[in-house]
Amino acid sequence: MAMAMASFALQLMLLMAAVLFGYSAAANVTYDHRSLIIDGKRELIISASIHYPRSVPGMWPDLVATAKEGGVNAVETYVFWNGHEPTQGHYYFGGRYDLVRFVKIIQQAGLYLILRIGPFVAAEWNFGGVPVWLHYIPGTVFRTDNESFKSHMANFTTLIVNKMKQEKFFASQGGPIILSQIENEYGDIEMVYGNGGKPYAMWAAKMALSQDIGVPWIMCQQYDAPDPVINTCNSFYCDQFTPNSNSKPKFWTENWPGWFKTFGAKDPHRPPEDIAFAVARFFQKGGSLQNYYMYHGGTNFGRTSGGPFITTSYDYDAPIDEYGITRQPKWGHLKQLHEAIKLCKHALLYGEQINLSLGPLQEVDIYTDGSGECVAFISNVDEKHDQHVTFRNTSYLIPAWSVSILPDCKEVVYNTAKVGSQISVIEMQPDNLHISTMLPEGFSGIKWDIFQEKVGVWGYHDFVVNGFVDHINTTKDSTDYLWCTTSVYVDDNEDFLKSGSQPILIVESKGHAMHAFVNHELQASASGNGSDSTFKFQKPILLRAGKNDISLLSMTVGLQNAGPFYEWVGAGVTSVKLEGFNKGVVDLSTNAWIYKIGLEGEYLNIYKEDGLHNVKWISTSNPPKNQPLTWYKAIVDAPNGNEPVGLDMKHMGKGQAWLNGEPIGRFWPRVSSINDDCTPKCDYRGKFFPSKCGTRCGEPTQRWYHIPRSWFKPRENLLVIFEEKGGDPYQICFSRRRVTSVCGLISEDHPPSNTAYNKQDSSSSIRPPAGIHLECPGSSRISSIKFASFGTPQGTCGSFQMGACHDPLSVSLVEKVCLNAQECLVQLSKENFGEDPCPGLLKTVAVEAVCQ
Ligand SMILES: *[C@@H]1O[C@H](CO)[C@@H](O)[C@H](O)[C@H]1NC(C)=O
Ligand SMILES: *[C@@H]1O[C@H](CO)[C@@H](O)[C@H](O)[C@H]1NC(C)=O
Ligand SMILES: *[C@@H]1O[C@H](CO)[C@@H](O)[C@H](O)[C@H]1NC(C)=O
Ligand SMILES: *[C@@H]1O[C@H](CO)[C@@H](O)[C@H](O)[C@H]1NC(C)=O
Ligand SMILES: *[C@@H]1O[C@H](CO)[C@@H](O)[C@H](O)[C@H]1NC(C)=O
Ligand SMILES: *[C@@H]1O[C@H](CO)[C@@H](O)[C@H](O)[C@H]1NC(C)=O
Ligand SMILES: *[C@@H]1O[C@H](CO)[C@@H](O)[C@H](O)[C@H]1NC(C)=O
C-alpha cells in the first residue's frame, strides 16, 4: 500500500511537472517600483542561496525540495567561473559543476531561479571565482577598465548565457530564470579603482544588457547601476535601503542568516529571532524580494575555499546545515514567517501603504488594497524592552526587537521573537572505520599503508634563485605547497657548538602557513590568521658543525576572494635569519634557494585509484604517530546506515583528504582561542554582527569534514590522507550525523498555528490553539519521551527542568500522542491538558522526545 501510494504520488508529480513546464509558455518578466512583474502580476520573492558545487548532484533534489518545503519560491546561485574553465579554453560542466542539471532540478520543483553570473563572485570561494590563469595573461587587471579582463569576462558571460538560452532556461523562454546578476558588490570599492572604476561598472551593465536575456539584470551593492539594471542590497538588515530610482523595486540579494568560518576562529551563529525580525522589517518597509545567503552553505571541497583561512565547511549556520539536515528551530521559524508573509501578499503588493507611530520605537505599517483587504506589520525596534501598543483600539504586546504580522489588521499570526518550531538536537556519532579485509583476532584498529614524503626537494628541483619568489606567482595555485631549501655552513669554532646554547631561526612570511625543517627534522609550524595572513616566528634550533639543510614548506590556505586589486596579494617567505653566531646574525635571505613546486604524492596522483601504484606504500598495523609529511591510505567500508558522514580529524595536524579520489578538502583542527568571547546564551535583541554569537572557543573551528554519501561504495573505499605536521591516525573515524532528539517549547500566549488560518473568515473561524509539532527525520520514530512538562518548565532543549508549576500527567499525555510516531502534534488545549496546574499563571509546555 505504501509503495502504491508512493508511486502514485510520483506519477502525480511528473504529471504536474509536465503541466507546469513541459508546455509552459514564455513568461514576461519586468518590474515596477514595487516588485517584479511576472506575466502582468506583481510577485513577491523569497529566495534561497544554494551553490551547486558546494554539494553533490546526489544532494541537489533534496536540498531544493527542503528549500521549497521551507516556503521559498526561488533559488539563487552564483556561477563559478574557475570551476567551469579550470584551464583556459577548456570547459567543464560535469559532476558538481553540472549547472544545467542543477537548473533542471529547480525547474522541476517549480521554483524560480536567480542566476548570479558575476563572473567575479567573491563568495568565500578561491580567488573570488575568477580563474587564476587569467591573472597571468599579461596586461590583465581584474575588475577595472582593462581590455583583457573585459574581453574574458564578456566571453565567459556570453558562454553561460548561451548555455542557458540553449536549454530555454530564461523565463522569457519558458524557463525558471527570472533575474540575472552581473558583477558583485563592486559599488563598495569602485572608488578605489580610480578612473577605471566607473567606466568598468557602466561597461559591465551595458555588456550584460546586450546579452538580451529577456529578464531583468541586477547589480548588488551598486549604488550607480544604470537603468534598467536594478541595484540591490546585501547586508544583515536592508529595511532602510532604497534603490537608486523611483522606478526600481527594493530587493535584498544577500540576507546573511549566519556567517562563514575561519580556521582558528570561533563558530558564528545568528539567532533565528533576529533573522526573522530583519526579514519582517524588510517586507514591512516595502521590500518585495529577499534572498537568504546562504540557505544551504555546504562544503568547500578540495581547494575551492577562498581565504585565506576559510574553512572547508561552508555551513554558514544556514537553515539547511552543511550535511543537508534542517537546522531547527531556524528552518521552521523562517518557514512559519514565510507562511505569514504569503497571507499578506496581495495587500502588500497592491495595497496602499501608510505608517503610524505607536511609540518612540514602535510603529505599524498598514497596507490596504482595493478589495478592502488590510494587513499590518507592527514593529518594536527597542533593543531591551517589550512594549504594549494600541492599534485600532486593541492592545498588543510586542516583544523587544520584534515584528508582529497581522494579515487582517486584527490578529497576530506570527511574531518574529516567538519561536514555536521544533528544535533538533544533532550529534556526530562515531562509527569506527571498518576495513574491508579480515582482521587478526582481537585487532580493532585500522590497517594503514603509509608513504613518506621527502623533506625538501624531491626528484629534480624546479629552479634556483638568490632570494625569495612570490609563492602564488610560482605555484599559480596548482598546489598549496612550495618547498624552499637552502643550506648553511657552521664552522667548528662557533661558540654555540660548545656552550650548548641554540641559535635562533627567524622567519618572516606574507602567508599563509609554513613548516620549517632543519636537517630533515620539523622544527616549527606557523601561520597567519583570518585578519592578517602575515606571520613571523623565532625558534631555537639545533645546528651541527658543517653543512645544515634548511627546508621551508610554504603553504597557501585558499586564495584571496575579494577586495580591491585582490589578485595582486602575494604570499610566501620574505626573510630568513639565524641569530647566535659568533659574528651575530646570519641573513639567509639572499642565499641561493632551491625551489620545488608541490609534493611528490600530489604529482604522482597517489590519492587516486590509478595513481596509487606510482609509489611503494609500506603496510603497517602500527602506523606512526606525530610524523610529519606522511601519506596514509586505507581501504574501508562505508559507514552503516544512511545518515550523512563526517570524517573526524580532531587528532590530526593539518593536510588534505580524499575518498575514492574525490577531494574531501583541507583539514586543520586549528583551535579557536579560549580568550575569544563565546556567549553561552546569545541575546537576539539588538543589531547582529558576525562575532556576536560564537561557539567552540577553545575547540577546533572545524573538527568534522563532510564526505557525501554518494562518494561511497558499500565496500572497499580508498581513503587517503596527507598529514603535513603530524597527528594520530588511530583516532581518525567516520561519524554519522544524526538527529538524536527533538524538542518543542511553546507558551499559551504564542500565536495560534497559522497554517489553518482562514483569512476570508478570520472572525468566525475557530483557530486551532498553538501546538508543538515534532518530527523525527527519515524513517526514525519517537522512541521515548525524555521530558514533558505543562506548567512553568525551565531551561533549553537537552536540559529542560520542571518548574514550580507542573502537571503530573504531562509525560503520559504526550506519550499518548507521540510515542512510536514519526511525527506528532502536541496542542496546548484544554482537551490535552485537563486540570490547570496553576490558574492565573502563563503556562508553557516543553517536550523532549528521543528519535530512534
Ligand atoms: C511585458 O510586460 C510589460 C509590463 O508589464 C508590458 O509593457 C510589455 O508589453 C509586455 N511584453 C510582452 C512581450 O508581452
Ligand atoms: C590593463 O589595465 C592596466 C591598468 O589600467 C593597463 O596598464 C594595461 O595597459 C591594460 N591592459 C590592457 C590590455 O588593456
Ligand atoms: C572573445 O570572443 C571574441 C569573439 O569570439 C574573440 O574575438 C575574442 O578574442 C575573445 N576574447 C578572448 C579574451 O578570448
Ligand atoms: C513613516 O515612514 C517614513 C519613512 O520611513 C518616516 O520618515 C516617518 O517618520 C514615518 N512616520 C511615522 C509616523 O512613523
Ligand atoms: C476606537 O474606539 C473609539 C472610541 O470608542 C471609536 O470612536 C473608534 O471608532 C474606534 N476605532 C476603531 C478603528 O475601531
Ligand atoms: C592575527 O594575527 C595578528 C598578527 O600576528 C594578531 O595581531 C591578531 O591578534 C591575530 N588575530 C586573531 C583574530 O587571532
Ligand atoms: C607576481 O609576478 C608579477 C609579474 O612578474 C609581478 O608584477 C607581481 O608583482 C608579482 N606578485 C607578487 C605578489 O610578487
The ligand with the least distance to the CA atom of 391 is: 5
Is the pLDDT confidence value at 8 over 80? no
- Residues 276-289, mean pLDDT to the nearest whole number: 98
Does 254 participate in catalysis according to the annotation?
yes
Lowest-confidence region among 17-26, 500-509, 589-598: 17-26
- Residues 509-535, mean pLDDT to the nearest whole number: 96
pLDDT tens, residue by residue, 563-617: 999 999 999 999 999 999 999 999 999 999 999 999 999 999 999 999 999 999 9
pLDDT value, residue 434:
55
Q: Is 565 in the pocket of ligand 2 (CB under 6 A)?
A: no
d(CA 643, CA 662): 19
Nearest CA to ligand 7 atom 5: 473
Percentage of the chain lying above the pLDDT 70 cut: 93
Does 322 participate in catalysis according to the annotation?
no
pLDDT tens, residue by residue, 674-684: 888 898 779 99
Percentage of the chain lying above the pLDDT 90 cut: 86
Is the pLDDT confidence value at 131 over 70? yes
Is the pLDDT confidence value at 711 over 60? yes
Q: What is the mean pLDDT of the chain?
A: 93
Helix (H, G, I), strand (E, B) or coil at 211: coil
- Number of other CB atoms surrounding residue 808 within 10 Å: 12
pLDDT value, residue 768:
61
pLDDT value, residue 674:
83
Nearest CA to ligand 7 atom 9: 568
pLDDT value, residue 91:
98
Is the pLDDT confidence value at 722 over 60? yes
d(CA 245, CA 253): 17
Lowest-confidence region among 217-226, 467-476, 684-693, 771-780: 771-780
Catalytic residue among 254, 453, 643, 775: 254
pLDDT value, residue 13:
40
d(CA 694, CA 691): 6
Atom of ligand 3 nearest to the CA of 154: 1
Helix-strand-coil percent breakdown of the chain, rounded to 5?
20, 35, 45
Atom of ligand 1 nearest to the CA of 37: 5
Is the pLDDT confidence value at 2 over 80? no
The pTM for the full model equals 0.94
d(CA 706, CA 311): 12
- The pairing of strands 74-78 and 394-398 is unpaired
| CA of residue 393 to ligand 5 center, whole Å | 6
The ligand with the least distance to the CA atom of 572 is: 7
d(CA 775, CA 762): 28
The ligand with the least distance to the CA atom of 239 is: 4
pLDDT tens, residue by residue, 400-432: 999 999 999 999 999 999 999 999 999 999 886
Choice from 531, 536, 670, 676 to test ligand 6 binding pocket (greatest atom count within 8 A of CB): 531
d(CA 114, CA 47): 8
Sheet architecture: strand order including 29-31: 29-31, 36-38, 41-43
| CA of residue 149 to ligand 2 center, whole Å | 9
d(CA 379, CA 773): 27
Nearest CA to ligand 4 atom 1: 355
- Residues 619-631, mean pLDDT to the nearest whole number: 92
Q: For residue 643, give the DSSP letter.
A: S
Do 789 and 845 touch, CB atoms closer than 8 A? Answer: yes
β-bridge mates for residue 648, sequence order:
704, 733
Atom of ligand 4 nearest to the CA of 355: 1
- Residues 442-466, mean pLDDT to the nearest whole number: 87
pLDDT tens, residue by residue, 743-790: 999 998 888 754 444 444 444 445 566 789 999 998 899 999 999 999
Q: Is 158 in the pocket of ligand 3 (CB under 6 A)?
A: no
Is the pLDDT confidence value at 742 over 50? yes
Phi first, then psi, for residue 590 (nearest 5°) are: -100, 10
Nearest CA to ligand 3 atom 2: 155
Q: Is 820 in the pocket of ligand 1 (CB under 6 A)?
A: no
- Residues 234-240, mean pLDDT to the nearest whole number: 98
Is the pLDDT confidence value at 792 over 50? yes
Q: Output the furthest CA–CA distance in the chain (Å, rounded).
A: 101
pLDDT value, residue 762:
46
Closest Cα partner for 376 from 401, 405, 348?
Answer: 405
Choice from 136, 146, 198 to test ligand 2 binding pocket (greatest atom count within 8 A of CB): 146
| CA of residue 351 to ligand 5 center, whole Å | 23
- Residues 844-850, mean pLDDT to the nearest whole number: 95
- Number of other CB atoms surrounding residue 192 within 10 Å: 12
Catalytic residue among 185, 190, 600, 643: 185
Helix (H, G, I), strand (E, B) or coil at 756: helix
d(CA 819, CA 802): 21
pLDDT value, residue 21:
46
pLDDT value, residue 755:
47
